[in-house]
Amino acid sequence: YREGMEVWVNGHPQETWTIHPSDGPSASPVVLPPFGWYACDTKKKDLVGLSALVDGRRADYVDGPKYTYGNGRGHFARFERAACDGQLIAHRREDGKVELIPVECEVGFGIGLDGHSAEAIALDEAGQPIGPAETRSSRGLVFVEPVQDAFSYLLTPKGEATAPAVSAPLTAIPGETIATGGSAGATVEIPADA
């Protein structure tokens, strides 16, 4: 489209289609299952959406300036700025806070907060606080420990933004040593019996 939006749709009822978006937020190939789709804004680079194969299973994801949506369709899926096994809706508010609404997330859920950690408050359906929720940061995402009877969680970013320490490869074999890519140039050795 003239304003920079690009859309790919696999209209085949049985075959997959691997696409290579050159200007979009995804630098890696995207595998579209039958009737899968991928869309991105190539000019602003602030919107991406897909219904594609993630780790071999179909998952859905849309990320824009104000909202992020992920759906692992019953299997834990990690996206650029979210992770979940059910549906996860994140509303990015103008005050910098993010409200997370998990739907049927059994394994866990997390959201990207641009390198920040966060404090979380569990809310009921009326938006009233229930109490604090524990959070942990991992690989650039903030994960929330579910609180009984919580409908949503209000996350307040805290601290200075830091780049996550991540290894170059996403997989390793027993006995392999991997550079973490952190500022200290640390490495980790995968145990031989892993």
Residue 73: per-residue pLDDT: 97
Segment 80-98 mean pLDDT: 96
Alpha carbon distance 191, 181 (integer Å): 19
**Residue 159's pLDDT band (boundaries 50, 70, 90)?**
confident
Q: Does position 82 have pLDDT exceeding 80, yes or no?
A: yes
Strand duo 109-112 + 82-84: pairing:
antiparallel
112-126 pLDDT, tens digit each = 998 789 999 999 999
Q: Are 134 and 103 in contact (CB under 8 A)?
A: no
Among 9-23, 80-94, 151-165, the minimum mean pLDDT is found in 151-165
CA 153 to the chain's CA centroid: 16
User: Helix, strand or coil for residue 134?
Assistant: coil
The helix, strand and coil proportions of the chain, stated in percent and rounded to the nearest 5, come to 0, 45, 55
The count of residues in the chain is 194
Among 21-35, 44-58, 84-98, the minimum mean pLDDT is found in 21-35
Alpha carbon distance 122, 186 (integer Å): 36
Quick one: which of 88, 109, 111 has its CA closest to 98?
111
Which one is predicted more confidently, 183 or 76?
76
Residue 24: per-residue pLDDT: 53
pTM of the model: 0.80
Residue 162: per-residue pLDDT: 59
Alpha carbon distance 123, 121 (integer Å): 6
Quick one: which of 103, 104, 181, 100 has its CA closest to 143?
100
Residue 168: per-residue pLDDT: 53
Residues above pLDDT 90, as percent of the chain: 67
